[in-house]
Amino acid sequence: RGALNAISCFLAGGWTGWPVRSLPTLLYYDSMTTLTITAQETSITMKPPRPVEGGKVYLIPQDLSPAPVLCRWFRGESIENNTIAIFYFYPHPYIWDATAFTGREIMKSNCSLEIIDLNYNDTANYTVLIEGLMGSRVGTVELVIEGRSLIYLCMYLFIYSFYILPF
């Protein structure tokens, strides 16, 4: 903040403490010392809450304020190689499919992620990083894929029990 005050005073012609060649140094110094941004937590809603193999799931971040500049989804750790997709809002909306993209993920303009044709390999922690001009938000949700075969087995046993049990 002090460097910005010095720059505004310098540009107004009222301050002559540093030579003109130091103006870029001031800008660099100020950007290195005052732009410390911490990410705030955001929650993620999972619909349906218990997704099954072969089905689909929506991972929906709950707070996008302030308006995002980009949204990035990760599978597993939040590192570059685990990036699924990035939604860029400016200068025009654009979705970039990254290294962890499988072809079954669909990113929406509300920063939500739809995953279709679920399988056991999709079981992981999913993290969204929402970056805006005034700060960042981060949220993580654990996705566990339940086997469809277990559901079918339970239905089969329930129906079959009517045939073998005497009434």
| Domains of the chain by start residue, with CATH | 2-34 (no CATH), 39-150 (2.60.40.10)
| Model pLDDT for residues 4-28, shown as the tens digit of each residue | 343 333 334 444 443 443 333 333 3
Rounded Cα gap, residues 75 and 119, in angstroms: 14
Query: What is the predicted pLDDT for the residue at 17?
Result: 43
Torsions phi, psi for 98 (to 5 deg): -100, -165
Percent of the chain having pLDDT more than 70? 66
Query: What is the predicted pLDDT for the residue at 151?
Result: 53
pLDDT confidence bin for 38, thresholds 50/70/90: confident
Rounded Cα gap, residues 33 and 148, in angstroms: 53
- 40 pLDDT more than 60: yes
Rounded Cα gap, residues 77 and 142, in angstroms: 12
SS3 state of residue 116:
coil
Highest mean pLDDT among 76-80, 126-130, 157-161: 126-130
pLDDT confidence bin for 133, thresholds 50/70/90: confident
SS3 state of residue 77:
coil
Answering whether pTM is above 0.85, one says no
Structure tokens at 58: 């929506």
- The enclosing H or E element of 86 equals strand 83-88
Which of 94-98, 142-146, 160-164 has the weakest average pLDDT?
Answer: 160-164
Rounded Cα gap, residues 21 and 141, in angstroms: 50
Highest mean pLDDT among 6-10, 38-42, 85-89: 85-89
Counting every residue, how long is the chain? 167
Among all chains, which residue has been given the structure tokens 């993209």?
Answer: 101
Rounded Cα gap, residues 159 and 108, in angstroms: 40
